[in-house]
Structure 1
Amino acid sequence: MSANEFSLQSLIATGTAADPAFVFDGTPVSRAEFSAKVEWTAAWLAAQGIGQGDVVAVWLVNRVEWIALLFAAARLAAVVAAVNTRYRSAEVAHLLKVSGARLMVVEAAFRSIDFAAILADIARDDVPALQELAVVGADAIPAQWPCIRFDAFDETYPPAPHAQNDIDLPVLLYTTSGTTKGPKLVAHSQRTLATHAASVAEALKLDPQRHSLLAILPFCGTFGMTSLLGFIAAGATVHVLDAFEAAPAFQILSKHKITHSFGSDEMFRRILALTDAPRPFPHLEICGYAAFQPGWRELAAEAEVRGMPLYGLYGSSEVQALFSIARPGDAFADRIEGGGWPMSADAKVRVRDMETGELAAQGVSGEIEISAPSRFLGYFNNPEATHDAITADGFFRTGDIGRLRGDGAFVYETRAGDAMRLGGFLVAPGEIEDELKSCTGVADAQVVAIDLKDQARCVAFVIPAREPPQQETLIARLRERLAGYKVPARIYVVDAFPVTDSANGVKIQRARLRAMAMERIAAE
């Protein structure tokens, strides 16, 4: 196969594709129109001086400009750094600094998100590489950087020259949880993205004339982007929500005979809650879901009865979402578990016993290790973290616990270590702890996750520097600096953290902290 067969551009060259390719808020975009938008966007990027190796941060909700920017960057051998729209100043600043983005394409405004106010809290000296902002939907926003209007679809720019495009260079950076302050950036190439997209289309047996996708997940994350690219590769129509809301999702599922959707258990719970109809979506075939909330088994059982078939799956930024999924022939109890069968026939999954260090037999739990064509290139500008994440024979150490089922499938059980799943995202406690420790009056901090009213939330414990800080003051500060799902539900002041002495030093008893959090909340 030639390199072009592994490019992003190859995904939109399907001869039997359905039209339109996309529907955004009721507006159809044909494949020919999308191809034209990619060329216009590439010309616009080139006019801004973006070329091979340059990084463009994209801070947008789900819109056609987002996808066009990714495909156009690939055309120029540039790189897109995906910015979560739920991020706030500390997170955005960290991503811009680590990525070295020269240009950021940003929303003028969206619902309650004040992009300008968030940017105002970022010191320009902290992100010296950023030269200007390109605003979608306005000429400018109040900001300390020069602003231009993103007008690629409105103005004519000189055609961009075709780059000597190496499909194995980075083209897309996702963010993922870090062990220290701020997320790591996961680098993927055109080859890893396009190859996996083709595997998803083939494994799901997608027919462009019969199947369609409702995209309810943000493109800034691998879950939303992978499902999008898989259906583009299949040539199937994709209906897109700019951001998830249950009511419009319900209407599109009903009106357009959608066959596939991917999201969290809570998303599907909210959609089902809008109707008492016994089988409201007769055309649905697969709803791939990630279980983040308690009660997901009960939800899956109800959804099954009401004709919304939920399928457990597995993925990560490093090996991409939809890495694996359950099969229709699996027993219901197996089908709703995380894990499943790898999409790619070339993927390999093994489990390592964390006590012995040896490979585990089927049915024995241990750390999941993966080798697959979908595997990332590495952590961007972080060779040490990349080295630590990859085994000598090329398997990615996932940090997840699971077991092999013995029939070619595997089961994901839980996350190893202390990472927390909050708001559908994996979050390192250290990121929140570092923000707390930067607050006046806080000497040290620890953060743990608990179930609070059937929702995963975090709770913080702080040791005061002098006078005990006020919980309200700390929470207000964190709301300015972090995404809402990272803000602790409670902040408790303690004199010391529970610890255990070991051969390797003193360790915080995080299990004890979780118990303390639940005891205190129960007492309230």
Structure 2
Amino acid sequence: MHADEVSLHSLIGSDTAAEPAFVFDDTPVSRAEFSGKIGQTAAWLAAQGIGKGDVVAVWLVNRIEWIALLFAAARLGAIVAAVNTRYRSAEVAHLIKLSGAKLLVIEAAFRAIDFAAILADISKDEVPALQKLAVIGPHAVSAQWPCARFDAFEKPYPSARAQGDIDLPVLLYTTSGTTKGPKLVAHSQRTLTSHANAVARALRLSPQRHSLLAMLPFCGTFGMTSLLGFIAAGATIHVLDAFEATPASKILSEHRITHAFGSDEMFRRILALSDAPRPYPHLEVCGFAAFQPGWRELAAQAEARGLSLFGLYGSSEVQALFSIGRGTDAFADRIEGGGWPMSSEAKVRVRNTETGQLAAPGVSGEIEISAPSRFLGYFNNPDATREAIAADGFFRTGDIGRLRGNGSFVYETRAGDAMRLGGFLVAPGEVEDELKSCAGVADAQVVAVDLNGQARCVAFVIPAGAPPQQETLLARLRERLAGYKVPARIYLVDAFPVTDSANGVKIQRAKLRAMAIERIAAE
């Protein structure tokens, strides 16, 4: 494919210049206007001393400047490091240091987020490469670094020479992280653009008929991939600066939105706002990531009210919306994580984690992926890249799943969350679903621990009403599950430990494991 066809700029196109590309807070931005803003932003970046290979950290909520900075960096051959708006000082410092960012683009404050105060907790020694801050809005944010204003849209700067290379890094995402802090996942214009085009084709998006509610943060692959896919399609994108259910519901209704992507919790909150039997009749596809227990029940309730949820699969490394369920799938299959790859060139295989051999359809193992959407590698981390990518180019996802045998696959759990019990790989969801079907159980989480040299599972249950008796629950599970899947202990809790990520609230299984070990030791 010719380089111009896989540059980020190629996604804007020229034939729909007058159509709105985005609507921010009821203000439309046409594709022609957006193209102009990219040119202005590239000139501004060059005036700040940013050129080929330089890294710009972008720490903003969803706004037009965010997207303009990405497309402008691509034009200059620079790199954008996406900073999660939920990050605090240690995480921001880690990302800036790891990326070697020279410039940080920031706003002073947004609703409850005091960016300036968080920045004040970072010392210059922690981020030696950072030379300058650029602030959106009138407020200064720091006395430690020189501060420029982001005034690209107000003031002319000398135009900058384009020198982007479509196969060099252009965007860095953070992975969800390990104890050593997150790694940076590097994508090029080619990986981003080819996947955006694949998404537009697979979803059969039409500029006239389809529109997107962008309610996920641009700093994560889930928000960015859906955004780029709809830019590629020429469809209008209505943007929320940050997710709130009430404005999301208003946009869905008033603008007859056809597509939305988000977490199960986002859709739960939106649906709770309306008593109407079919509150959003124009919605065709709601792609959702299941981060919370009870997602199957949510999907069934949504379906009964005309809101079709579609299971997805993705990661920072292969990008979000890597695959999706199809409308022709049985409901139970369509809502599962996984689905059908968006790209016709994508290949998915499953490797038996015990034998190291490729697994037959229906057999669980580690999912491995080869696709045009695959990342270049972990930024400045060749060792981690080598570990993650097999000799034949397949990415080892660290996720457990199985092939269906018809071209689709099922995501079951993270490899670190899968439990090896009685010599078998068990997804926690299997035990959790049984617990949640028991009277008196509102919610359940299951983790594996070492008990007297043997791997056993331990359950944590949030009671509904009168607390259920452990023995009653265990008796039911013994009737329903193989003995090795029955928890050794069931503990009642008020809530599960959670963490905020760019894509939603996730349960901290590692913390649950630590809690289980502590409680057993205390006995």
- Compute the TM-score of the two structures, normalised by the length of structure 2: 0.82
Identity of aligned residues (%): 76
Alpha-carbon distance in structure 1 between the residues aligned to 2:494 and 2:244: 20
CA 1:310–1:484 in 2, change beyond 3 Å: closer, same or farther? closer
Identify the residue that residue 514 of structure 2 maps to in structure 1: 513
Partner-residue secondary structure (3-state), 2:90: helix
Per the TM alignment, residue 486 of structure 1 is displaced from its structure 2 partner at its CA by 8.8
Q: Is the 8 A contact 1:293 1:454 kept in 2?
A: no
CA offset digits 1:121-152 (Å, max 9, x no partner): 11211111000100011252134111111100
Alpha-carbon distance in structure 2 between the residues aligned to 1:247 and 1:393: 47
AA of the residue aligned to 1:76: L
AA of the residue aligned to 2:497: R
Identify the residue that residue 172 of structure 2 maps to in structure 1: 173
Q: Is the 8 A contact 1:260 1:285 kept in 2?
A: yes
**Within the alignment, does 1:205 sit opposite 2:197 as a pair?**
no
Identify the residue that residue 457 of structure 1 maps to in structure 2: 497
Identify the residue that residue 326 of structure 2 maps to in structure 1: 327
CA 1:512–1:170 in 2, change beyond 3 Å: closer, same or farther? closer
Which consecutive residues of structure 1, in runs of 5 or more, have no partner in the other structure?
420-447, 460-478, 490-508
Identify the residue that residue 23 of structure 1 maps to in structure 2: 23
Partner-residue secondary structure (3-state), 1:21: strand
Partner-residue secondary structure (3-state), 1:397: strand
CA 1:449–1:181 in 2, change beyond 3 Å: closer, same or farther? farther
CA offset digits 1:295-339 (Å, max 9, x no partner): 100100010011110000000000000000001100000000000
Alpha-carbon distance in structure 1 between the residues aligned to 2:513 and 2:72: 50
Identify the residue that residue 142 of structure 1 maps to in structure 2: 142
Q: Is the 8 A contact 2:291 2:506 kept in 1?
A: no
Alpha-carbon distance in structure 1 between the residues aligned to 2:294 and 2:261: 18
Equivalent residue runs for 1:81-480 within 5 Å = 81-163=81-163, 165-417=164-416, 456-458=496-498
Partner-residue secondary structure (3-state), 2:180: coil
Which consecutive residues of structure 2, in runs of 5 or more, have no partner in the other structure?
419-457, 463-492
CA 1:195–1:18 in 2, change beyond 3 Å: closer, same or farther? farther
**Within the alignment, does 1:40 sit opposite 2:80 as a pair?**
no
Alpha-carbon distance in structure 2 between the residues aligned to 1:202 and 1:449: 43
Alpha-carbon distance in structure 2 between the residues aligned to 1:127 and 1:155: 30
Per the TM alignment, residue 458 of structure 1 is displaced from its structure 2 partner at its CA by 5.0
Q: Is the 8 A contact 2:23 2:238 kept in 1?
A: yes
- Compute the TM-score of the two structures, normalised by the length of structure 1: 0.82
CA 1:121–1:286 in 2, change beyond 3 Å: closer, same or farther? same
Q: Is the 8 A contact 1:216 1:240 kept in 2?
A: yes
Alpha-carbon distance in structure 1 between the residues aligned to 2:195 and 2:338: 17
Per the TM alignment, residue 513 of structure 1 is displaced from its structure 2 partner at its CA by 3.3
Partner-residue secondary structure (3-state), 2:20: coil
Alpha-carbon distance in structure 2 between the residues aligned to 1:451 and 1:147: 50
Partner-residue secondary structure (3-state), 1:148: strand
Alpha-carbon distance in structure 2 between the residues aligned to 1:154 and 1:518: 60
CA 1:222–1:148 in 2, change beyond 3 Å: closer, same or farther? same
Per the TM alignment, residue 511 of structure 1 is displaced from its structure 2 partner at its CA by 7.8
Alpha-carbon distance in structure 1 between the residues aligned to 2:306 and 2:43: 46
Aligned length: 453
**Within the alignment, does 1:67 sit opposite 2:67 as a pair?**
yes
Per the TM alignment, residue 406 of structure 1 is displaced from its structure 2 partner at its CA by 0.6
CA 1:356–1:303 in 2, change beyond 3 Å: closer, same or farther? same
AA of the residue aligned to 2:213: L
Alpha-carbon distance in structure 2 between the residues aligned to 1:484 and 1:237: 24
Alpha-carbon distance in structure 2 between the residues aligned to 1:451 and 1:18: 55
Alpha-carbon distance in structure 2 between the residues aligned to 1:292 and 1:14: 39
Q: Is the 8 A contact 1:86 1:483 kept in 2?
A: no
CA offset digits 1:401-423 (Å, max 9, x no partner): 0000010000000001159xxxx
Q: Is the 8 A contact 1:457 1:485 kept in 2?
A: no
CA 1:269–1:488 in 2, change beyond 3 Å: closer, same or farther? closer
CA 1:276–1:189 in 2, change beyond 3 Å: closer, same or farther? same
CA offset digits 1:203-234 (Å, max 9, x no partner): 00000000000000000000000000000000
CA 1:347–1:451 in 2, change beyond 3 Å: closer, same or farther? farther
AA of the residue aligned to 1:333: A
Alignment RMSD, CA only? 2.7
Per the TM alignment, residue 180 of structure 1 is displaced from its structure 2 partner at its CA by 3.5
Q: Is the 8 A contact 2:262 2:503 kept in 1?
A: no
Alpha-carbon distance in structure 2 between the residues aligned to 1:407 and 1:483: 29
Alpha-carbon distance in structure 1 between the residues aligned to 2:187 and 2:287: 23
CA offset digits 1:462-501 (Å, max 9, x no partner): xxxxxxxxxxxxxxxxx9xx99969989xxxxxxxxxxxx
CA offset digits 1:152-177 (Å, max 9, x no partner): 001000011121x2100000000003
Partner-residue secondary structure (3-state), 2:393: coil
Alpha-carbon distance in structure 2 between the residues aligned to 1:3 and 1:449: 53
AA of the residue aligned to 1:336: I
CA offset digits 1:367-389 (Å, max 9, x no partner): 00000000000000100000000
Partner-residue secondary structure (3-state), 1:238: strand
AA of the residue aligned to 2:20: P
Alpha-carbon distance in structure 2 between the residues aligned to 1:321 and 1:329: 22
